[in-house]
């Protein structure tokens, strides 16, 4: 079975590559905004559709210097945004802002224009190779690459690849899973890989760092120094930000490993559809967003590897247990 898989790597561009990326971000943003404004200002949608990146290049020659596929994808993204709006899935499209935290553009792999050489990446329009922290092997065909930057400082590449996956061996085992704010999941059967969660998700350092940040803010206020000018506060703020990023990465990595382990071990996976949270999400180790990410990953991984996934609506005022979810799931499938 062929599936589309995504990979995300940190990249370390040199000065020339940085300049190209920033220029491309600007050109893509400009193209998107021009097409959006044309559509807003034109009553006839067919008339507005005549404006394309190719037409814009005639009026704005600087667009010719950038990746044409990136501009074409900006147009596709706008069309997708309108489709989501008309189908009630999103609000009306908004203009893109150069002050946004994240900037990005997407290009396609046409005629082998995106490829790896050792641990360096070749992208369209760039003559030099980009240094990549490639922590995972890519086995399939690269379809597209999205370059993104946070505050124009941290740069990443997201690769969409077409890969062949093989169904996992059948085990004839079933499991029921419900939401748990502390461990993420309550299960109907004991799992060895659950024992490492608390060690993996320790956040003592983050709690201490946040306390220290508050202390730095009080000291700055006492000395009548603005926070943006308080060096010690800004240094501590960066430390807190880094710890939050590390926590998010560890959490995502844990969910990835947990979902694959479940799919490998069980043929039937029954999951609580709507978690009933009693604990405050601010004090919980895992929140409802983590739960929906967990469900999302289980959904596509069970499809990839030939297993059965079923979301179960739990009856109101019933205990929060994986055992009950498993029983309800088996009843639904007649097992």
Map 199-254 to HEC letters.
HHCCCHHHHHHHHHHHHHHHHHHHCCCCHHHCHHHHHHHHHHHHHHHHHHHHHHHH
Strand segments, DSSP code E, in 13-140 are 102-108, 115-117, 120-122, 130-133
Phi, psi of 36 (to 5 degrees): -65, -45
- pLDDT band (50, 70, 90) for residue 47: low
Cα atoms in the 13 Å half-sphere on the side-chain side of 207: 7
CA distance 84 to 71: 20
User: What confidence tens digit (pLDDT) does each residue in 80-94 have?
Assistant: 999 999 999 899 999
Mean pLDDT of 219-224: 92
Query: In the numeric block, which tokens belong to residue 21?
Result: 């990326």
Helix (H, G, I), strand (E, B) or coil at 59: helix
- The mean of the pLDDT values for the chain is 88
Give the model's pLDDT for residue 35: 93
CA distance 319 to 214: 40
CB 300 within 8 A of CB 294: no
Of 189, 126, 184, 136, nearest to 158 (Cα)? 136
Give the model's pLDDT for residue 49: 66
User: What confidence tens digit (pLDDT) does each residue in 282-319 have?
Assistant: 557 788 889 999 999 999 999 999 999 999 987 766 66
CA distance 106 to 148: 9
pTM for this entry = 0.80
User: What confidence tens digit (pLDDT) does each residue in 109-121 have?
Assistant: 998 999 999 889 9
- pLDDT band (50, 70, 90) for residue 40: confident
Give the model's pLDDT for residue 283: 58
Mean pLDDT of 225-252: 90
Residue with the bigger pLDDT between 194 and 88: it is: 88
Give the model's pLDDT for residue 42: 74
User: What confidence tens digit (pLDDT) does each residue in 146-170 have?
Assistant: 999 998 889 999 999 999 999 999 9
Give the model's pLDDT for residue 13: 96
Sheet of 268-272, strand order: 184-187, 174-180, 268-272, 308-312
């Amino acid at each position: 079975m062929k599936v589309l898989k995504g990979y995300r790597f940190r990249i370390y561009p040199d000065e020339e590559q940085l300049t190209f990326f920033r220029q491309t971000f600007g050109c893509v943003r400009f193209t998107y905004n021009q097409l959006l404004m044309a559509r807003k200002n034109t009553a006839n949608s067919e008339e507005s559709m005549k404006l394309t990146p190719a037409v814009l290049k005639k009026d704005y020659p600087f667009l010719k210097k950038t990746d044409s596929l990136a501009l074409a994808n900006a147009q596709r993204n706008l069309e997708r945004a309108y489709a989501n709006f008309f189908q009630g899935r999103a609000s009306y499209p908004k203009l893109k802002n150069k002050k946004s935290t994240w900037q990005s553009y997407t290009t396609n792999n046409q005629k082998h224009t995106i490829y790896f050489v050792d641990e360096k990446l070749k992208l369209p329009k760039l003559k030099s190779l980009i240094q990549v922290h490639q922590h995972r092997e890519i086995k399939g065909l690269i379809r597209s690459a999205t370059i993104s930057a946070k505050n124009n400082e941290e740069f990443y590449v997201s690769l969409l690849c077409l890969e062949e996956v093989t169904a996992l061996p059948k085990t004839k085992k079933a499991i029921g899973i419900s939401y748990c704010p502390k461990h993420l999941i309550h299960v109907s059967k004991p799992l060895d890989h659950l024992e490492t969660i608390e060690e993996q998700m320790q956040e003592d350092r983050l709690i201490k760092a946040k306390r220290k940040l508050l202390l730095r803010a009080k000291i700055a206020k006492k000395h009548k120094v603005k926070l943006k000018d308080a060096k010690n506060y800004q240094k501590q703020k960066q430390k807190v930000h880094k710890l939050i990023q590390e926590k998010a990465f560890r959490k995502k990595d844990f969910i990835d490993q947990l979902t694959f382990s479940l799919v490998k071990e069980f043929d039937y996976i029954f999951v609580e559809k709507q978690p009933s949270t009693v604990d405050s999400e601010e004090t919980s180790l895992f929140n409802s967003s983590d739960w929906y990410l967990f469900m999302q990953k289980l959904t596509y991984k069970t499809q990839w590897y030939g297993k059965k996934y079923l979301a179960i609506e739990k009856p109101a005022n019933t205990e929060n247990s994986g055992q009950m979810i498993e029983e309800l799931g088996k009843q639904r499938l007649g097992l």
